[in-house]
Every structure is written in structure tokens, then in C-alpha cells.
């Protein structure tokens, strides 16, 4: 039975990573601060209903930036490029493909391809492309302005929060280029990092 459970854990991708309490709380605080900033910007630009989609995509970015700050998909070019190119693709599809279902599917597909070619893969960018198509009248009325505000402004805000929240902690310094020994620090025992 133990072997079966071990094999199931391995198959499901359940690792042995044991982040300490400080690590978990820092991730939560970062997510709170980042999304608070994004929500304030998006609500001011789009209102409560119109901002739901873009806040959701930034919520996904927050998970990457604050729970996995040194991951390749969390780095500044991935976040900025991924959201911006996806927003642009989404707006183009929304404006030029009359069928909303086809426009939504095309926006996500082309955004994936563009992120690949531009080397800025950021999974929440797919949601940003989708939001540009299905975000409703408030988003559609912005047209190409959607790429700058709220998307660019939100991406810059969440990146700034990631830098500020992670800066005081050597093992979390963001972006990864500012923590060249990040892998060595992350392999340290969680108890050594947060006093557990």
C-alpha cells in the first residue's frame, strides 16, 4: 500500500518541498499587496464588472511572482511581455473577428504562439488575451488603450510589489538575476531560513 501511495504522489507531482511558515506568509502578503494595487487600478479604469477578467489574470501572475519568484515564468520579461503581447493580440481579435467564440479561441492560441516566439511565456497572459475578448463593453470601449491601462500599469504595479516584498529576504530576491545564489539558498533547510 505504501508503494502505491508513493507512486500516486510521484505521478500526481506532489513533491517533497516543504516551504517554511515565513515563506508561506511572505507569499500571501505579496499576493495581498500586489492584487490590492491591481484591483485599485483596474476598478478605476474599468469599473467592478469590467475589471474582473484582468484582475483574474493578474491573480495568476501573483501566484507565480510571490510563490515561485525565481521561476522562469515569473521573471520580469515573462510578466511584462506575456501580458502586453497577449493584451494586444486579444484586442486585435476582439476588433476583427466577429464571432466571439472564435475570437476568444484565436486570441489565446495566437497569444501562446507570440509568447513563444518572443520568449516571454507567462501562462496568465492567456487569460489576459481572453479578457480582452470576453471582458465586455468596458474593455471593448478602451480598444488598444486596454494594452496600456490597465494591463501595462497592472503588470508594472505587480512587478514593483514583487521587488519590494522580496527584496529584504536573500533567498527571495526578485528578479532572479538579483539573487545569483538563489538556488543554493532555496536548497537550505526551511528551518534554517525561517526559524521553524
- pLDDT tens readout for residues 164-191: 999 898 888 999 998 856 454 444 434 4
In the chain, the percentage of residues whose pLDDT exceeds 70 is: 90
Residue 91 forms part of a structural domain: yes
Please check the confidence at residue 65 and state whether its pLDDT lies above 50: yes
Is 13 among the domain residues? no
| Number of domain units in the chain | 1
- Reply yes or no on whether the pLDDT at 37 is more than 90: yes
Question: Taking CA 66 as the corner, what is the angle to CA 113 and CA 109, rounded to the nearest 5 degrees?
Answer: 15
Higher pLDDT, 132 or 17: 132
Report whether 59 contacts 35 (CB < 8 A).
Answer: yes
Domain annotation covers residue 80 = yes
For 102-125, write each residue's pLDDT tens digit. 999 999 999 999 999 999 999 999
For residue 187, the model assigns a pLDDT of: 42
- Looking at the domain assignment, is residue 7 inside a domain? no
CB-CB neighbours of 60 under 10 Å: 16
pLDDT higher than threshold 90 for residue 60: yes
Kindly write down the DSSP assignment for every residue of 90-137, as one continuous string.
Answer: HHHHHHH-SSHHHHHHHHHHHHHHHHHHHT---THHHHHHHHHHHS-H
- Degrees (nearest 5) of the Cα angle 20, 25, 26? 100
**Chain centroid to CA 50: how far?**
19
Q: Identify which of 68-72, 80-84, 172-176 has the greatest average pLDDT.
A: 80-84
Residue 11 in any domain: the answer is no
Which residue range(s) make up the domain with 81? 21-187
pLDDT at 75 over 80: yes
User: Which has the higher per-residue pLDDT, 190 or 69?
Assistant: 69
Residue 5 belongs to some domain of the structure = no
Amino acid at each position: 500500500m505504501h508503494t502505491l501511495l508513493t507512486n500516486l504522489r510521484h505521478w500526481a507531482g506532489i513533491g517533497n518541498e516543504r516551504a517554511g511558515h515565513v515563506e508561506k506568509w511572505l507569499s500571501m502578503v505579496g499576493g495581498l499587496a500586489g492584487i490590492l494595487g491591481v484591483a485599485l487600478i483596474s476598478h478605476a479604469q474599468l469599473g467592478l464588472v469590467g475589471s474582473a477578467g484582468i484582475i483574474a489574470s493578474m491573480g495568476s501572475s501573483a501566484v507565480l511572482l510571490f510563490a515561485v519568484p525565481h521561476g522562469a515564468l515569473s521573471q520580469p520579461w515573462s510578466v511584462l511581455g506575456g501580458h502586453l503581447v497577449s493584451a494586444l493580440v486579444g484586442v486585435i481579435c476582439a476588433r476583427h473577428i466577429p464571432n466571439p467564440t472564435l475570437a476568444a479561441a484565436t486570441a489565446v492560441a495566437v497569444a501562446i504562439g507570440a509568447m513563444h516566439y518572443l520568449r516571454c511565456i507567462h501562462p496568465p497572459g492567456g487569460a489576459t488575451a481572453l479578457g480582452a475578448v470576453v471582458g465586455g463593453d468596458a474593455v471593448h470601449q478602451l480598444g488598444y488603450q486596454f494594452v496600456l491601462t490597465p494591463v501595462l500599469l497592472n503588470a508594472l504595479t505587480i512587478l514593483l510589489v514583487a521587488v519590494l516584498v522580496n527584496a529584504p529576504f536573500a533567498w527571495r530576491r526578485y528578479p532572479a538575476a538579483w539573487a545569483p545564489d538563489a538556488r543554493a539558498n532555496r536548497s537550505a533547510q526551511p528551518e534554517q531560513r525561517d526559524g521553524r
